[in-house]
Structure 1
Amino acid sequence: MITVGLSLKDRPCLVVGGGQVALRRIEKLIEEKASVIVVSPDVLPDIVTYHEAGVLQWIAKPYSSEYMVGQQFVIIATDIPAVNAQVMEDAQGVQAFINRADVKDDSTWVFGSATEIGDLEISIFTNQVSPRVSRLLRQDIEKRYGILAEWLPQIRLWRQELQHILDTPKEREQFWRTYLGESEFIQIVEGQEDSVKENIVHAISRIRSES
């Protein structure tokens, strides 16, 4: 399976099921501003709230094939094997991407464990082997690299300035190799970033004065 990032904004996404598994996936779709339709006779109160707020459409009926028309992304999350099998068949018929909770090998797209650190977004995939390991990795990354949330906006400003004072991409790449290499990155992560920042600021000032 190839790991990719998808923009689901305004994309039709069908969710069949209304329990906890469905809710977790629905909330991720809502974050991405997908066009979500939930089909299930019964759903959790949170899903009802989302429906009443207008962020998704809830069809309070059993699944039927008519709801598959025009769908691009499908989440199968009921506890009824026969229903799941029917949704799977219909989704394959319209060549939709499928995320199936009860038979993971049938999924053609999966949710990673994602975290955001400032402007940095990291997704973790363990080939669906262990959601627990994914959560632990996410927590470790958030703790270990949280300082980058402060650094990334400044790096963006430095890059913009370097584009004006260094003429070629090769020169800019060499700058970052020199002043933000592996050892400097380790210093930042370990909380010893002042000297790294000072060296970058001085280097940019020198280049600016010479240009």
Structure 2
Amino acid sequence: MITVGLSLKGRPCLVVGGGQVALRRIEKLIEEEASIRVVSPEVLPEIVAYHEQGKLQWIEAPYASNDMVGQQFVIIATDRPDVNEAVLQDARAVGAFINRADVKEDSNWVFGSSTQIGDLDISIFTNQVSPRVSRLLRQDIERRYTILAEWLPQIRLWRQELQRLLATSKEREQFWRIYLGESEFIQILEGHGDSVKENIVHAISRIRSES
């Protein structure tokens, strides 16, 4: 499976089921501003609240094949294997991306454990082996890389200036190889990035004066 990032803003997403598993996935879809339709005779109070807030459409009924019309992404999350299998076959028939909670092998679209720290957006996939390991990795990354996220806005500004000062991508790549290599990266993570910043600023100033 190839790991990719998808923008689901405005895209039709069907969720069949209304329990805790469905809720966790729905909350991710809401963050992405997807167009969400939930089909289930009963749902958790949180899902009802999202429906009342206009964040999703809840169809208070058992799943029917016509619910699949126009859907692109499908989440199958009921506690009935027969219903899940029926949804699976309908989703395959329309070529939708499928996330099935009870049979992982039927999924061709999976949720990773993700975290966003400033401009740093990281997703973690363990090939569906261990959600617990994914959560632990996410927590470790959040602790370890918060300081790096604080650097990203400044790095963006430096990159923009270097694009004006250095004519070719090869020159820019060489610059970053010299001034933001592995040792500099480690210094930043360890909280000793002042000298790294000073060297980058001086180097850019020198290039600017020579231009």
Could you say whether these structures have the same fold, taking a TM-score greater than 0.5 normalized by the shorter chain as the test? Answer: yes
The answer for unaligned runs of 5 or more in structure 1 is: none
Once the two structures are TM-superposed, the CA of residue 210 in structure 1 deviates from its matched residue by 1.1
Match of residue 67 from structure 2: 67
C-alpha distance after superposition, 1:90-113 (max 9, x if no partner): 111111111000000100100000
Match of residue 189 from structure 2: 189
Once the two structures are TM-superposed, the CA of residue 117 in structure 1 deviates from its matched residue by 1.8
Match of residue 49 from structure 1: 49
Which residue identity does 2:167 align to in structure 1? D
| RMSD of aligned residue pairs (Cα, Å) | 0.6
Cα distance in 2 between the residues matched to 1:116 and 1:178: 28
Match of residue 119 from structure 2: 119
Once the two structures are TM-superposed, the CA of residue 179 in structure 1 deviates from its matched residue by 0.2
Which residue identity does 1:205 align to in structure 2? S
Once the two structures are TM-superposed, the CA of residue 119 in structure 1 deviates from its matched residue by 0.7
Once the two structures are TM-superposed, the CA of residue 118 in structure 1 deviates from its matched residue by 1.2
Once the two structures are TM-superposed, the CA of residue 28 in structure 1 deviates from its matched residue by 0.5
Is 1:136 the counterpart of 2:136 in the alignment? yes
Once the two structures are TM-superposed, the CA of residue 168 in structure 1 deviates from its matched residue by 1.2
C-alpha distance after superposition, 1:161-184 (max 9, x if no partner): 111111111111110000000000
Cα distance in 1 between the residues matched to 2:93 and 2:196: 56
Does the 8 Å contact 1:10/1:35 carry over to 2?
A: yes
Percent identity between the two aligned chains: 82
Once the two structures are TM-superposed, the CA of residue 120 in structure 1 deviates from its matched residue by 1.4
Match of residue 88 from structure 1: 88
Once the two structures are TM-superposed, the CA of residue 205 in structure 1 deviates from its matched residue by 0.7
C-alpha distance after superposition, 1:4-60 (max 9, x if no partner): 111111111000000000000001011111100000011111101110010100000
The answer for unaligned runs of 5 or more in structure 2 is: none
Q: Moved runs in structure 1, 4+ residues, more than 2 A?
A: none
Is 1:6 the counterpart of 2:10 in the alignment? no
Equivalenced residue count is 211
Match of residue 173 from structure 1: 173
Cα distance in 2 between the residues matched to 1:139 and 1:97: 29
Cα distance in 2 between the residues matched to 1:168 and 1:64: 57
Is 1:149 the counterpart of 2:152 in the alignment? no
Match of residue 102 from structure 1: 102
Match of residue 36 from structure 2: 36
Paired residue secondary structure (1:147): helix
Cα distance in 2 between the residues matched to 1:16 and 1:176: 48
Paired residue secondary structure (2:2): coil
Once the two structures are TM-superposed, the CA of residue 148 in structure 1 deviates from its matched residue by 1.3
Paired residue secondary structure (2:111): coil
Paired residue secondary structure (1:132): helix
